[in-house]
Amino acid sequence: MLEVSGLRAGYGLSQVLFDMHLKIEQGEVVSLIGRNGMGKTTTVKSIMGLLKPSAGSVRINGKEMRGKQPFHIAQAGLGLVPEGRRAFGSLSVRENLLATASRASRWDLTRIYQLFPRLEERQQQLSKTLSGGEQQMLVVGRALMTGPQLLILDEATEGLAPIIRETIWNCLTTLKAEGETILVIDKNLKEMARVVDRHHIIEKGRQVWEGTPQQLAASPDLSHRYLGV
Ligand SMILES: Nc1ncnc2c1ncn2[C@@H]1O[C@H](COP(=O)(O)OP(=O)(O)OP(=O)(O)O)[C@@H](O)[C@H]1O
Ligand SMILES: [Mg+2]
């Protein structure tokens, strides 16, 4: 579905990605993990066309998309829940969801409300009055409404209360069972192990390891070296 290879990118003179690799097959749930500032968000921005990579390749369903406009990347099937969640604050929950609805999407309001009953209860409320957890549910719902072939979540549960984190992980488990393809960035390895098929570790702009949660759990030296845990 998505294949990133040899990706280089940065901001002005400061290079952040040196040799990023990432491969996601249809129906897989994979993670991108690594310590703060290692280039996870930069990788996502480069994939989504929000940042122009200087070299490498971003293939979506076999087609080279590196350097294409974000609009074209979205059209090619990628949906992003960005770091630091942003809903359209002056729209209601329902309006937010309908704003990004695509006719081709497998997702509609009914299915989103099944996934997040809380959003249905709050559907008339302005999104800026939602709690942090509800806002995260809303931006996930909004991304699904675009009908993505690959859903990318950058810091899926950062800053959320444990019970809300649980809601987000349960949602990802449901999405996986329904065959969705997901790339998730998060810092909670334990919760992630329940849902991801493979982890990718990034260190200073390079993919340095790839393997299953079981393999990672069996190598404490890896977690210590690259994740600081
Ligand atoms: N807009 C920017 N301009 C200049 N440097 C930036 C910019 N955004 C990020 N960087 C730098 O690029 C490096 C990688 O940042 P990035 O946000 O990709 O890290 P990350 O792995 O997502 O970290 P975190 O876990 O904190 O979200 C960092 O050194 C950061 O300071
Ligand atoms: Mg980040």
pLDDT digits 0-9 by tens, 71-84: 999 999 999 999 98
Cβ of 49 below 6 Å from ligand 1? no
Mean predicted confidence (pLDDT) in 3-10: 97
CA 83 to centroid of ligand 2, rounded, Å: 6
Residue 16 lies inside a defined structural domain of this protein? yes
Average pLDDT, the chain: 93
For residue 86, pLDDT over 80 is answered with no
pLDDT higher than threshold 90 for residue 87: no
The number of the ligand 1 atom at minimal distance from the alpha carbon of 83 is 27
pLDDT in tens, 41-55: 999 999 999 999 999
Q: What is the pLDDT of residues 162-210, one digit of tens each?
A: 999 999 999 999 999 999 999 999 999 999 999 999 999 999 999 999 9
Report the first-to-last Cα separation within the chain, whole angstroms.
Answer: 31
Q: Is 225 a residue whose pLDDT tops 90?
A: no
Ligand 1 close to Cβ of residue 84 (< 6 A): no
Confirm whether 12 is domain-assigned. yes
**Domain of 9?**
1-76+190-229
Provide the CA 179 distance to its chain's centre, in angstroms. 16
Sign of CA dihedral 80, 214, 178, 188: negative
Tens digits of per-residue pLDDT, 121-155?
999 999 989 988 899 999 999 999 999 999 999 99
Q: Is the CB of 51 under 6 A from ligand 1?
A: no
Atom of ligand 1 nearest to the CA of 205: 14
For residue 115, pLDDT beyond 80: yes
CATH of the domain at 201: 3.40.50.300
Domain-embedded: residue 15: yes
**Is position 113 within any domain?**
no
- 140 belongs to a structural domain: no
In a domain, 210, yes or no: yes
Question: Nearest C-alpha to atom 26 of ligand 1 is from which residue?
Answer: 36
| Ligand 1 atom at minimum distance from 39 CA | 18
Of the chain, the percentage scoring pLDDT greater than 90 comes to 84
Please count the other Cβ atoms lying within 10 Å of the Cβ belonging to residue 65: 19
The Å distance, Cα 43 to ligand 1 centre, comes to: 10
Query: Closest Cα to atom 7, ligand 1: which residue?
Result: 11
pLDDT of amino acid 88:
74
Residue 150 lies in a domain: no
Q: How many domains does the chain have?
A: 1
> Would residue 104 count as lying in a domain?
no
